[in-house]
Amino acid sequence: MLNKDNENVKYSPQHQEFLRAVKRNKLQIKASQVGFLMLFIICWEVAANLKWIDPFFFSKPSDIFKLLVRLSADGSLIMHTTVSVYETLMGFVIGTVLGTIVAIMLWWSDFIAKVVDPYLVVLNALPKIALGPIIIIWAGAGTRGIIVTALLISIVVTILSTFNGFKEVDTEKIKMLKTFGATKLQILQKVVLPASVPTMINTMKINIGMSWVGVIVGEFLVSKAGLGYLIVYGGQVFRLDIVMAGVIVLAVATFVMYQFVAWVENRFLRWKQ
């Protein structure tokens, strides 16, 4: 009945004008984003054609587009992209799940949280990219080592962000549930986890980039396929169009994953609007 009633609601002229203004603002933002990108591409192409920049070092959009078409036609682009996306998704999912579980354990036991806290701080401060070779040696070369690299780079961020979100939950609500005899598991299920959904989703957004960093680092070190391998190969043979093509596909894949998480956020946090 509520849905039918809402459909029949007639908004005031002022409210309708407000809704139109909101839509116009969104369209203007999207148009500005697309326009800025198109302007950048056009300026890049013109500058390369007029020799304002050296095409050998900077390539140009037309050459990159032709290369992407050729790589798509022979299937190599799909193969490299699929490999990197698979490794990133595995590292992202496993890192997010394990990091959330560890954060729950730290919230559950204040003693464990205090013992582990300095180690987490040190691990978060370490240059994880520099640890890439060690991780590859420990985990083994190939896909498994690359996934572990992505996992270890993202898991510490997940633990710290999610645990901090748990600690920021309204303590008054927790005290109220305790006065009614709620167990710790019930408090976790009914208050802590629901209240921390926005924090966990924001952590997922960060983890997308962190997972890609781990995958690209791993592919730089040991890989025979993937976008990282494509970028390294292009640099080794001084083909900047290959390097830029790999970077562009990497940016598109990252954007698609980010938009999926944003879609999940809109679905689960619609009530906040």
pLDDT digits (tens, 9 = 90+) for 225-253: 888 888 888 888 888 888 888 899 999 99
Mean pLDDT of 94-121: 89
Which of these ranges, 8-12, 70-74, 84-88, has the smallest mean pLDDT? 8-12
Backbone angles phi and psi of 151, in degrees to 5: -60, -50
Q: In the CATH hierarchy, which top-level class contains the domain 61-272?
A: mainly alpha
Quickly state the pLDDT bin for 98 (edges 50, 70, 90).
Answer: very high
3-class SS of residue 18: helix
Mean pLDDT of 29-35: 88
Quickly state the pLDDT bin for 86 (edges 50, 70, 90).
Answer: very high
Which has more pLDDT, 1 or 166? 166
pLDDT digits (tens, 9 = 90+) for 190-221: 888 888 888 888 888 888 888 888 888 888 88
Whether the pLDDT of residue 8 is over 70: the answer is no
Whether the pLDDT of residue 6 is over 60: the answer is no
Instruction: Give 159's Cβ-side CA count (13 Å radius).
Output: 21
Contact 147, 94 (CB under 8 A): yes
C-alpha span between 247 and 231 (Å, rounded): 7
- Type of residue found at 148: V
Quickly list DSSP for 140-194. -SSHHHHHHHHHHHHHHHHHHHHHHHHHTS-HHHHHHHHHTT--HHHHIIIIIHH
Which of these ranges, 10-19, 42-51, 156-165, has the smallest mean pLDDT? 10-19
Place of tokens 């037309």: 62
pLDDT for the residue 272: 52
What mean pLDDT is reported for the chain?
Answer: 83
Contact 158, 203 (CB under 8 A): yes
pLDDT for the residue 58: 81
3-class SS of residue 200: helix
Could you state, in order of their start, the residue ranges of all structural domains in the chain?
12-53, 61-272
Whether the pLDDT of residue 59 is over 60: the answer is yes
Contact 83, 100 (CB under 8 A): no
pTM of the predicted model as reported, rounded to 2 decimal places: 0.79
Whether the pLDDT of residue 177 is over 70: the answer is yes
pLDDT for the residue 232: 87
Contact 264, 201 (CB under 8 A): yes
Whether the pLDDT of residue 145 is over 70: the answer is yes
C-alpha span between 69 and 197 (Å, rounded): 41
pLDDT for the residue 51: 83
